[in-house]
């Protein structure tokens, strides 16, 4: 996921919501980007920063928990942002997903948020306050063919947030899953849509911050909420057909490009019914 633009705007907005929070954790970034975030923090506000570098794809849950607990020992963590995530390199049928990719995707999208939350919660319980923000995906709201494992992990994150949020609501801890649709980052480069439908990172981050502490599952940006309302009103069969054929078309375009470049991929092309 391309996060740099979104994170930069989030950092610029931090003074408006961190006045009563001493420290917070943001994880799931490559080490160079994590170091860049720390530099931005230093430039924009006077805030103590500390990096904890973990390869979620290769670490066990126990290792993640111990590394986080050791890294935050002695710190008063007020906000945790779980934004670690990875997706398929491109749309593909379930049986085509390499085993290594599938395992990494589950560990990064599902295990990471679970174990990091487990490591941070005890400290929040002691002071009876805190906030945990899990960054989900619109793929948890409707069917997402040719990206099944990714969608399933995001659905887990939404339900995890909802259930754990209920468990700790009376303890003063707000746990929330924020669900974006398309945001104008490099990840959706080339997508032609109105800025109102696909907000800039600045627009989305401002909406995201305003929703902290409210519903367990929310769609922060107002136009994303409108889009979801409309899709939710469609018959499931119609919505499934539209989504499937949209991503099928994405796969066809990619395969045509590959076949023109390499002259191969015929087995996969047959699945997508591609002709060149």
> Which residue's entry shows tokens 């087995």?
267
Name the phi and psi angles at 26, rounded to 5.
-130, 120
Given the DSSP bridges, would you call strands 23-27 and 130-135 parallel, antiparallel or unpaired? unpaired
* Catalytic residue check, 214: no
Catalytic residue among 144, 150, 204, 221: 150
> Which residue's entry shows tokens 């401002």?
206
Output 55-64 pairs: Cβ under 8 A, ≥24 positions apart: 56/28, 56/84, 56/107, 56/108, 56/111, 56/112, 57/86, 57/103, 57/104, 57/107, 57/108, 59/107, 61/111, 61/114, 61/115, 64/111, 64/112, 64/115, 64/116, 64/119
Give 244-258 as a DSSP string.
HHHHHHHHHHHHHHH
Neighbour-count burial of 233, counting CB atoms closer than 10 A to its CB (0-12 exposed, 13-18 middle, 19+ buried)? exposed
Give me the count of residues in the chain.
Answer: 276
**Strands of 130-135's sheet, edge to edge?**
23-27, 77-82, 130-135, 173-178, 217-218
276 and 252 Cβ atoms separated by less than 8 Å: no
Rounded Cα distance between 189 and 143, Å, is 23
> Which residue's entry shows tokens 């085509």?
96
Active site residues: 150
């Amino acid at each position: 996921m391309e996060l740099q633009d979104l994170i930069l705007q989030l950092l610029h907005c931090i003074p408006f919501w961190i006045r009563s929070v001493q420290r917070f954790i943001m994880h799931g970034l490559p080490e160079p980007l994590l170091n860049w975030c720390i530099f931005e923090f230093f430039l924009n506000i006077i805030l103590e920063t500390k990096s904890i570098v973990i390869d979620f794809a290769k670490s066990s849950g126990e290792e993640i928990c111990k590394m986080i607990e050791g890294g935050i020992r002695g710190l008063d963590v007020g906000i945790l942002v779980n934004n670690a995530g990875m997706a398929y390199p491109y749309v593909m049928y379930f049986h085509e997903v390499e085993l290594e990719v599938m395992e990494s995707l589950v560990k990064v999208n599902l295990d990471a948020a679970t174990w990091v939350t487990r490591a941070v919660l005890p400290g929040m319980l002691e002071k009876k306050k805190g906030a945990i923000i899990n960054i989900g995906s619109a793929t948890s709201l409707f069917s997402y063919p040719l990206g099944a494992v990714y969608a399933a992990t995001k659905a887990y994150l939404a339900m995890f947030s909802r259930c754990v949020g209920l468990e700790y609501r009376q303890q003063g801890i707000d746990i929330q899953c924020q669900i974006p649709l398309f945001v104008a980052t490099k990840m959706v480069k080339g997508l032609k849509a109105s800025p109102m439908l696909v907000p800039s990172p600045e627009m989305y981050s401002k909406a995201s911050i305003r929703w902290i502490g409210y519903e367990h599952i929310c769609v922060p940006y107002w136009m994303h909420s409108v889009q979801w309302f409309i899709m939710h009103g469609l018959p499931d069969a119609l919505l499934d057909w539209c989504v499937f054929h949209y991503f099928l078309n994405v796969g066809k375009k990619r395969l045509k490009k590959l076949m023109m470049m390499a002259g191969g991929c015929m087995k996969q092309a047959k699945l997508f019914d591609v002709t060149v």
